[in-house]
């Protein structure tokens, strides 16, 4: 288990909301670069090496596609580089496309980290008392896709073990895929009904039902929560005062490097790399204690 996931669910939710929301509503290249690098570094410690590199096969083409498509459809900007079919391709549109690509990939990385860290039991712990039915539905929805992938792989492997899906014909492959999909639809419906009956039998959502939880708010949770709030407040204050203002259109503006803007950049960088630093620190501590055995 990763040490960052052992923090209190309230602290984890506040942290991921702070980072993700700020990334979604900023276009500053420095802040977005910090968010992307922080998300990538955090993913490297959460996932196995082969899984991380397999995901790059999706993120890299997506990044390139967004970066290339924007200047082809957006012709705003005052610095045309060349003309394509009579339309100007501007420097501002190219850089803005790269900026948007960085933002989208960064948000996807942080959402991936959120799905790994915020398990269904933590989600139900946070919202089970206030909105039990909605929290259960959202928890099942978030967990459905990984379960669906695992079950589909099991069905496909079982079919191959029985001698099915061995033909190289494209028609047979399509038929095999339809069989697997049909099995998965049936499994999904059965799983939903079984989960509903099981939760109903346990009295989920009834008034007066007691709740058991292993989560306890400790001193280290208070430290992380306070640090998250402090760093978030610094970034939001700097953004509100215009210290991180940056525009691509109609002309690229100069980046601000005043003392306060540098403080904002450092604060957001620390916030984004905080989980990675915590994991590195715990790994080094673990290796040190192992070496002393």
Average pLDDT score over the chain: 82
Q: 268 pLDDT band (50/70/90 cuts)?
A: very high
Q: What is the pLDDT of residues 217-255, one digit of tens each?
A: 899 999 999 999 999 999 999 988 888 888 888 888 888
- Say which range, 22-31, 158-167, 270-279, has the weakest mean pLDDT: 158-167
pLDDT at 1 over 60: no
DSSP 254: P
CA 194 to chain centroid, in Å, comes to 29
Residue extents of the structural domains in the chain: 1-128+233-293, 139-204
Q: pLDDT at position 121, please?
A: 75
Q: pLDDT at position 128, please?
A: 65
Q: pLDDT at position 190, please?
A: 79
Terminal CA-to-CA distance of the chain, rounded, Å? 22
Cα–Cα distance, 255 to 12 (Å, whole number): 32
Mean pLDDT of 262-287: 90
Length of the chain: 293
Give the pTM.
Answer: 0.76
Mean pLDDT of 256-285: 90
Q: What is the pLDDT of residues 27-77, one digit of tens each?
A: 889 999 999 999 999 988 888 767 777 888 888 888 888 888 888 887 787
Q: pLDDT at position 107, please?
A: 92
Q: pLDDT at position 178, please?
A: 80
pLDDT at 196 over 80: no
Select, from the ranges 14-28, 129-143, 177-191, 236-250, the one with the highest average predicted confidence (pLDDT). Answer: 14-28
Q: 276 pLDDT band (50/70/90 cuts)?
A: very high
CA 55 to chain centroid, in Å, comes to 12
Q: pLDDT at position 23, please?
A: 92
Q: pLDDT at position 61, please?
A: 87
Neighbours of 8 (CB within 10 A): 20
The counts of H helices and E strands in the chain are 9, 2
Mean pLDDT of 176-194: 78
pLDDT at 138 over 80: no
Neighbours of 12 (CB within 10 A): 23
User: Position of tokens 């060349």?
Assistant: 82
Neighbours of 103 (CB within 10 A): 22
- Which of the two residues, 121 and 211, has the higher pLDDT score? 121
pLDDT at 210 over 70: no
Report how far apart, in Å, the C-alpha atoms of 112 and of each of 27, 46, 60, 129, 162 are.
21, 10, 16, 26, 35
pLDDT at 284 over 70: yes
Contact 89/80 with Cβ under 8 angstroms? Answer: yes
Cα–Cα distance, 279 to 26 (Å, whole number): 27
Q: 139 pLDDT band (50/70/90 cuts)?
A: low
């Amino acid at each position: 288990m990763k040490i960052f996931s052992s923090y209190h669910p309230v602290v984890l939710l506040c942290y991921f909301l702070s980072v993700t929301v700020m990334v979604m509503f900023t276009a500053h290249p420095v802040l977005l670069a910090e968010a992307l690098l922080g998300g990538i570094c955090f993913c490297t410690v959460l996932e196995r090496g082969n899984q991380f590199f397999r995901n790059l096969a999706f993120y890299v083409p997506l990044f390139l596609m967004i970066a290339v498509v924007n200047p082809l459809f957006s012709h705003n900007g005052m610095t045309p580089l060349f003309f394509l079919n009579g339309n100007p391709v501007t420097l501002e549109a190219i850089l803005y496309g790269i900026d948007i690509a960085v933002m989208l990939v960064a948000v996807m990385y942080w959402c991936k980290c959120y799905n790994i860290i915020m398990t269904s039991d933590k989600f139900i712990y946070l919202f089970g008392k206030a909105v039990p039915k909605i929290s259960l539905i959202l928890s099942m929805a978030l967990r459905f896709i990984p379960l669906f992938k695992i079950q589909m792989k099991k069905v496909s492997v079982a079919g191959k073990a029985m001698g099915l899906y061995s033909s190289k014909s494209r028609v047979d492959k399509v038929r095999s895929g339809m069989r697997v999909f049909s099995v998965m639809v049936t499994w999904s419906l059965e799983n939903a009904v079984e989960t509903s009956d099981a939760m109903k039998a346990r009295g989920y959502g009834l008034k007066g039902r007691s709740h058991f939880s292993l989560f306890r708010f400790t001193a280290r949770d208070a430290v992380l929560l306070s640090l998250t709030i402090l760093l978030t407040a610094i970034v939001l204050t700097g953004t509100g005062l215009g210290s991180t203002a940056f525009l691509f259109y109609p002309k690229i503006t100069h980046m601000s490097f005043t003392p306060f803007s540098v403080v904002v950049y450092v604060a957001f960088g620390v916030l984004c790399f905080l989980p990675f630093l915590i994991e590195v620190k715990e790994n080094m501590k673990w290796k040190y204690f192992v070496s002393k055995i």
